[in-house]
Structures are given as structure tokens and as C-alpha cells.
A and B are shown apart, each in its own frame.
Chain A
Amino acid sequence: MAGDRSIRLREVSKTFRTRGETFTALQSVSLDCEAGSFTALIGPSGCGKSTLLRLALGLDTADTGSAEIGGLAPKAAASTGTTGVAFQDSALLPWRSAEANIALPLDVLGKRREDYAARIKELIGLVGLSGFENALPGELSGGMRQRVSIARALVTSPGVLFLDEPFGALDQILRRQMNIELQRIWSESRATTLLVTHGIDEAVFLADRIVVMKSKPGRIATIIDVPFSRPREKSLFQSPEFHALNDVVARALHGE
């Protein structure tokens, strides 16, 4: 967690070729996320928001431009254990217990699980899964699995956190609940976070700023700052300011 925890994308472009057609997923996109900030990426399908996250995470490489995490190439940063990630599909290994799934990043990074026993126990408590340590994913509900996946993202105490539609597969009611919990958990860790989402209210509730993206070609349309103070309470969802900002984001999305 030491040093710079920023995410820096410089003029990145990425094209995909399918059946002879070239599809520009990202065209010369630059984005800086300062250490400790929470940034939400929102936009229509095909605007390149997930591609941007994958580039920043080192899962894909850009055609041109560069991506850095704390001054390191994403892959190098990843192998030091600086980053954490959660995906839409909880992507748990069905044969590992909740606890063992949370420990997966430690196994990949070659760290001893025993050294992290206390951390794992603490995280299980934090996401409200005490008593389910040894349950297999098949025995957990969708919301519980997603909590395991969030705990897994946090197990290395990452300075930089990537969330790719982490609640996309949940219903609206459960999603709200998880948003509130994520807000609480994040307030404690203050990791630099990049969240990809389809939900306007989720972005407004969680982020410090919202990056609105457009497709064909994938690019940043506008960036909207979110002024609400932290910690944010459940009541925020009902406030007129919250709804007003939702409308601003919606208008930006629809190109006004």
C-alpha cells in the first residue's frame, strides 16, 4: 500500500477485429484516478468501459498508449499484490469453500495462507458471512457469493481496487443493500477504486466522480463530480439532491 496508488491511463486505444470488421473499443482515452479516489465508469454497452478496466488491470494490452498503476506496468503492479478485483459473475471456484475462495489471490501470489488467517476472518465478518466460512459456493445465495467475491478482492489489502459490475447479476433490492455495505467497507480501506457499472444510482451513491462514456468509437463524453460527503447513509437514496444528480448523469448518457 506504500507510495503512489494512482491509476493512470495515457491516450490508450484498442481495436478488435471480428469477421473482417474493425471495431474501435477505445479511441485515445486518458484518465487519471488519484490515490484514494473512487471513480465510476458508466456508459452504454460497447462503449469500452470494461475494456478500459481490463487494460488498467493488465488483462488486455492496449494497441497504443500506456497504463500504469502507481508508476508500474499493470502486470508488474498485480504481481506485487497491490491490486484487487471483483467481477460481475462472482467467479468463485465451485470446489473451494468461501474461506478458500477468499484465499485464492494469496495462492496465486505465492503467499502463506496462515499469515493471513486473521485477515480472512476479519473480512468474513466485514461482509457479514460469519458462520459460512466452510460453505461451498453452491450452498450460498447469489448475494452471499457476491460478498465472498468482494472479500476476495480485499484480501491482499489492495491499494487499488477494480470492480467490474460487481452487483450486475443481483436484483435491484439486493443491489441497494450491497451498495450500502460496499460504501461502508470502502470508507474503511480507502483504496483507489475504479468501478464499472450500468446503474446510475449505484454510480452516484458510491463514487467521487462519474466518467460518462460513449460508444462508436469508445471515448469519454464527460466527467461529473459527486459532491456528497462521506460516510454516505441509506437516506441519501431518498434525498432530492441525489435524484437531481441522477438526472444530470442520465442526461449526459443520452447525449444532451
Chain B
Amino acid sequence: MASEHARLGWLRNIAVLLVIWEIVGRFHLVASGALPAPSAVLARFWADKSDYLPHVLATLEASFFGFVIGNAIAIAAGIAFVMSPLMLRLFRGVNIALFALPPIAISPVLVLTFSGMAPRVILAALGCYFATMTATVLGLSQADQRSLDVVRAYGGSRFDEMRFVQLRNALPSILGGFRVAAPAAVLGAILAEFGGGGRFGLGTYLLGSLGRADPPRLWGIGLTATLIAGLAYAAFALWGARVTGASRAVTVPTSAPPPAAGPGSQIAVLLLAAAAALLPLLLWWLLLTILQVPEMIAKTPAGIIDYLFIGGGAEQARARLVAALLETLPYTIAGLAAGLVFALALAVLSDLFPAITRSFMPVALVTQTMPLVALTPLLVLLLGRGTALILWVTISVTFFPSFVTIAQGMSMVPRAALDVPRAYGASKRQQLMLITIPASLPYLFAAMRLAAPRALLGVMIAEWLATGTGLGNLLNQSRGYLDYGMIWTVAVVSVLVAVAFYQAVVIIERWTLSRLGMKTTE
């Protein structure tokens, strides 16, 4: 009964929302018609239906191949990392770079280096890699130690442990990774389409329609992209639920997995860290050498140093880069801070008034599957091309994931811990300050790690598509001028900035949590 009641409530909410939207759209109440009525969007969609097919197919094709390739690499890498902790350490630099890099920044570089669908497939694959890789590592290494003992007790090899216990144990986790990766692949493909190359694709369609002052069409494309990403998510969510439901874990691991082979000497640790930092550069250089891209177009690390510090016009290039960074960084930090503060505030409110969680959480979860940054053109429509847009885009891409992470952390505070202050008559506010907030600190940091690279991506997209300022614009301009040195420089610098943000959060997190005797969360 209760669940049926809730479902009816849901339907009612959606119906009310649609009616309000229709009224608002009909009477041009928002930004003089920038928000069209759903009926108008549908009508436009119907009129455009023959245009959609090639665009949708192109995006689906890139997403699909990116998804398959990205996940295959991610699972193989995950297995390798679990088999060899040395590999995991060696690839730390590569992994962080792949996690933090703003896809839009490397999109032009990919278009220069590869041809045809390849840039899109690569960005879609990059979108999948990190989620599935971490899910694989987590699933494989969380296998029940006792079950592994049983296999070993019958003379089973490391390979047998993988085959009989670890791989199957990791399946639900890997499917969870796929669920996150599926919409990420769609987003990656659309962002690559923003970056140019190719006539078809929802991203291309969206950008092409941006100048036409046709809000219903823009909304139609945005909603179609959202729908595709959402369906991809839902498909894997269903599959995951089936697999997990059938084989619920029954044994609680009694012992933690054995610690990874400890670091040897201080020197070995330093060498390994240096190797991990240099590996991404080596791979970059190696890739260009193998592909034999002309030196004029493809810049190696040495080429970028030459461009920025040695060659003619180096000083000018540096000045333009610094000016762009000074425009981009303040917005990134402000947007990130605002997104996190809003998320924390709403999470605290939800803890005080659970009704907020009940009504808002489903919305926040749905946004997780939305290609939010790809919807920037819609925000341009609503907010214009002013700098306020940068903040709104950045806040919207950082707020939702942060809220979900923090609220989840708060809901996982053990009830028993809250019972003690409650038994002494503590107020709601005291419980929050004494228990809930400190206990969910690890999740706050996890939210920061997640949000920091997204903030940079959000700022760059807004700059590229709308405001004509900062790194995003510098990249877009350099594309127009065929300034290859600058295209590569901006790509590299934005990856470095994103990694620096990420590392800064990790350092603060480790310092704070180790002082409090807490552990980091994944």
C-alpha cells in the first residue's frame, strides 16, 4: 500500500511539474520564451524527426564503441592492478590524469591527431575508464578472504583464485561501474562532437542550432541526449540488480585483504613516485611517435616547452596563457566552493527535515545520469552569455554529485553513534555538530575530489560556448587560427590544473582524516 501511495505521489508530482512548465512556457514567463512549453518542444521534435536520426545514430555509434573499448581496457587494467600492486603505483599518475582531465580540453588535440570517428570514440572510452577500472579493482580486492583460502588450501594458483572467486565476486561491482560509465560514454561522445570533426551527432546538432534562436529545438535535442544517457544508465541498473539480487553475499569478510606489498626503502618509494609522474608524459610521447603525426601538428612534451619558453613568440604565448588562466581559475574555485557549500547546506537541511531528502533525492539521482555539461547551450538560452553563466554551469555540475555523496555519507552514520547523545537529551543541532558532520567528513572530501575536476570542465565549456573568456575561449580561438602549439599547450595545462586541484584535495583530505583517525572513502 505504502509503495503504491508513493508511486501515485510521484506521478502527481510529475504531472503538476509538467502543467506548471506548460503554463510558464506558454506565457513566455522565463527569459522571454527561452523556456518553451513541453507541447512546443514535442511539436518541434515531431517536425524535426527526420533530422534526428543521423545525429542520434552518430552519437550512439561513438558512445557504443567507446563504451566497449573503454570498459575492456578498464577491466583489463583493473585485473592487472590487483594482480600487481607495483603496476597500480606505476600507473597512479596516468589514472589521476585520466580521471581529472577535462574532456573538452583534449577534444581538439584528438581531432588533430586522429581522424574520423576516432576522437569521439576515444573521449567516450575515456569517460568510461575510471568508473569501471575502480569498480573492478574494488570488486576484485573485496573478495572474501576465506573463500580465497579455500581455493589455496586445495593447491589453487593465483589464476585459480581469480577464476573461481574474484572475477565473479567483482561482477556486481563491475556492473555498477558500467551503470556510471554508460551515461559518461554518451557525455564523452557529445563533448567530442562539440570539439569538431564530423557532420553528425547530437552535440554537433546542438551547437549548430544554438545560433538559430529556436528554443524548442534546443530543448528537444537536450532532452533526447538526456533520455539516451538515462536509458543507458537504467539498462545497466536493471541488469546489476538482477545479478546482485540472485547472489547476495552471505559471509562477512572476517579479515581485511592482505596489505599490498609494503614499500621497500625510501629511495624505492621516491623512484616509483617519479616513474608514476613521468609515465603519462612517456605514453604521450610514445603515442605520437607510433602514430607518426607530423611534428608541426602534434606537439611532444619537448615541443610544448619549445613553444612556451624557447621559440619565437614564446613570450606572447606565455602572456596569453597566463591571462586566460587568471580568468579561468577564480571562476573554477568560486564555482566549486559555491557548489560544495550549497550541497553541504542542503544535505544538512535534509538531515534535519527528512522530507527534503525524500522529495529531492530522486531528482538529484536523475541528474547523475544527465549529460549536464552538454546541456550548457540550454543554460546559454536561459541566462545569456554573461559571466554569471559560468558560475551557474559550474555550480550545476558540482552541486548534484556533491549533494548525493554528502547526503549518502550522512545517512550512513550508524544509529548507535547517534543514540548516545540522544540518550543525554541532545538537540538535533547538537547531534549534527557532534556526530553527523564529523562522521561524514570522509564523504565531504570524496565529494570534493569528484567535484574539483568537474568544476574546471564546467568553466571551460561555458567559456568555449558562450562567454569568450579564459582557457576555454583560448582553446576555441587557437582552433580557428590553427595555432597548434597553443591547442596542445592549453590541453596540457588544463590537465595539469585539474590534476593539481585533485591532488590538493587529496593532500588536505589525508592530513585532516589522519588527524581524526578516519579512513578515506572510494
Interface residues of A (CB under 8 A from B): 57-59, 75, 78-79, 81, 83, 85, 87-95, 104-105, 107-109, 136-138, 145, 152, 156, 162
Contact = CB atoms under 8 A, between A and B. Distances in A.
Contact of A93 (B147, B152, B155, B246): B147
B362 interface: no
Contact of B150 (A104, A137, A156): A104
Contact of B247 (A78, A89, A138, A156): A138
Nearest to B143: A93
Which of B144, B155, B156, B247 counts the most A-chain CB atoms under 10 A from its CB? B155
B254 A88 contact: yes
Given A104-B164, A108-B160, A92 B250 contact: yes
Interface string B320-347: 0000000000000000000000000000
A83 B165 CA distance: 20
Nearest to A137: B250
Given A58-B153, A137-B251, 15 more contacts: A59-B153, A78-B154, A81-B154, A88-B146, A90-B251, A91-B147, A93-B165, A94-B250, A105-B154, A109-B155, A136-B246, A137-B250, A138-B247, A138-B248, A138-B250
Given A108-B160, A136-B246, A138-B250, A89 B144 contact: yes
Interface in B162-182: 164-165, 168-169, 171
Q: List 4 A-B pairs, minimum CB-CB distance, nearest first.
A: A79-B155, A91-B146, A95-B247, A78-B155
Which of A137, A152, A162 counts the most B-chain CB atoms under 10 A from its CB? A137
B487 to A, nearest CB: 49
B150 A87 contact: yes
Interface string B119-154: 000000000000000000000000010110111111
B153 A57 contact: yes
A75 B165 CA distance: 20
Nearest to A149: B150
Interface of B: 144, 146-147, 149-156, 160, 164-165, 168-169, 171, 246-252, 254
Contacts of B248: 94, 138
B156 to A, nearest CB: 4
A85 B153 contact: yes
B154 to A, nearest CB: 4
Contacts of B149: 59, 85, 87, 91
A75 B153 CA distance: 8
B164 A89 contact: no
A145 B153 contact: no
Chain B binding surface, main DSSP class: helix
B239 to A, nearest CB: 15
A93 B164 contact: yes
Which of B147, B248, B250 counts the most A-chain CB atoms under 10 A from its CB? B250
Contacts of A78: 153-155
A95 B153 CA distance: 20
15 contacts: A58-B152, A58-B155, A78-B154, A78-B155, A79-B154, A81-B154, A87-B150, A89-B146, A91-B251, A95-B246, A108-B154, A108-B155, A108-B156, A108-B160, A136-B247
A107 B147 CA distance: 14
B250 A107 contact: no
A59 B151 CA distance: 10
A78 B171 CA distance: 29
Contacts of B250: 90, 92, 94, 137-138, 145
Given A88-B254, A93-B165, A93-B168, A104 B151 contact: yes
A138 B245 CA distance: 10
A115 B247 CA distance: 27
Contacts of B251: 89-92, 94, 137
A81 B147 CA distance: 17
Given A91-B146, A91-B147, A94-B249, A59 B168 contact: no
A87 B249 CA distance: 17
A104 B154 CA distance: 9
Contacts of A79: 154-155
Contacts of A156: 154
Nearest to A107: B164
Which of A78, A93, A137, A138 counts the most B-chain CB atoms under 10 A from its CB? A93
Contact of A108 (B164, B247, B249): B164
A136 B243 CA distance: 13
Contacts of A109: 154-155
Contacts of A162: 153
Nearest to A18: B259
B270 to A, nearest CB: 21
Given A75-B155, A108-B156, A108-B160, A85 B246 contact: no
A137 B165 CA distance: 15
B313 to A, nearest CB: 57
Contacts of A83: 153-154
Nearest to B259: A18
Contact of A94 (B146, B153, B164, B247): B247
A94 B249 CA distance: 5
Nearest to A138: B248
B279 to A, nearest CB: 31
A81 B156 CA distance: 11
Contacts of A105: 150, 154
B98 to A, nearest CB: 31
A108 B168 contact: no
Contacts of A136: 246-247
Nearest to B252: A89
A47 B250 CA distance: 29
Which of A59, A83, A94 counts the most B-chain CB atoms under 10 A from its CB? A94
